[in-house]
């Protein structure tokens, strides 16, 4: 119980930091730019889940709607690209606060490792995506170890070679 309280207090504290380096941010922005360019400019809608004060979208984003969800209201309110935000703890309630088929794109930058029920959240992403919509997940080897779920933290300390996977 005490550890849950400590985690809850830690999670809700605003942190205006980037979780990946500038090269990774630029690579993600460039990838988004290519993906978003396939949609009618000024007509598409984007949802960024597990969001914060920055979504890593291209600076000249041409979406008509940029919705973001995350756990810390102060961080969400500081996101200059968002047209709307909703505070949501997807670990307590893995349901997105949007209707069916509302978004052309759903993104998540380096936050899947914090989701307790990622399959439920992915099902929700599918629900809110329009037919033919695209979900884009990015991953990193960095995380807040006190915030990430055990499956990710335990596996991050091992190399793929330890598991008999990959390698030359």
* pLDDT at res. 168: 34
Beta bridge partner(s), residue 137: 108
Residue 6 lies in a domain: no
* pLDDT at res. 90: 92
**Mean pLDDT within 82-92:** 95
Residue 37 lies in a domain: no
* pLDDT at res. 100: 99
* pLDDT at res. 4: 55
Q: Which two tokens stand for residue 163?
A: 């598991």
End-to-end CA distance of the chain: 45
DSSP-derived secondary structure for 46-99: EEESS--S-----TT---SEEEEEES-HHHHHT-TT-SEEEE--TTT----SS-
Residue 10 lies in a domain: no
The tally of domains found in the chain comes to: 1
Residue 106 lies in a domain: yes
C-alpha of 161 from chain center = 28
Residue 24 lies in a domain: no
Over residues 119-144, the pLDDT tens digits come to 999 999 999 999 999 999 987 655 44
Residue 30 lies in a domain: no
Residue-range definition of the domain harbouring residue 52: 44-163
What lies within 8 Å, CB to CB, of 4 at 6+ separation is: none
Over residues 46-80, the pLDDT tens digits come to 999 999 988 899 988 999 999 999 999 999 999 99
Over residues 7-47, the pLDDT tens digits come to 554 556 656 556 677 888 899 999 999 999 999 989 999 99
The pLDDT of residue 160 is above 90: no
Residue 111 lies in a domain: yes
Give me the CATH number covering residue 107.
3.40.50.150
**Smallest Cα–Cα separation from 68: which of 84, 90, 91?**
84
Compute the distance between CA of residue 165 and CA of residue 64 in angstroms, rounded to an integer: 43
How much is the mean pLDDT over the chain? Answer: 80
Residue 133 lies in a domain: yes
CB 91: neighbour CB atoms within 10 A? 17
The pLDDT of residue 153 is above 50: no
């Amino acid at each position: 119980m005490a550890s849950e309280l400590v985690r809850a207090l830690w999670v809700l504290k605003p942190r205006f930091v980037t979780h990946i380096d500038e090269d990774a941010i630029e690579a993600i922005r460039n990838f988004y730019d290519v993906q978003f360019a396939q949609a009618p400019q000024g007509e598409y809608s984007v949802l960024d889940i597990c969001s914060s004060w920055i979504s890593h979208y291209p600076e000249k984003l041409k979406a008509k709607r940029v919705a973001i969800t995350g756990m810390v209201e102060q961080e969400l309110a500081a996101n200059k690209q968002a047209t709307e935000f909703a505070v949501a703890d997807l670990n307590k309630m893995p349901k997105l606060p949007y209707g069916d088929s509302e978004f052309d794109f759903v993104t998540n930058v380096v936050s899947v490792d914090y989701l307790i029920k990622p399959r439920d959240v992915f099902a929700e992403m599918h629900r809110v995506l329009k037919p033919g919509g695209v979900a884009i997940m990015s991953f990193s080897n960095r995380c807040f170890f006190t915030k990430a779920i055990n499956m990710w933290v335990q596996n991050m300390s091992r190399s793929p070679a330890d598991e008999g996977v990959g390698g030359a």
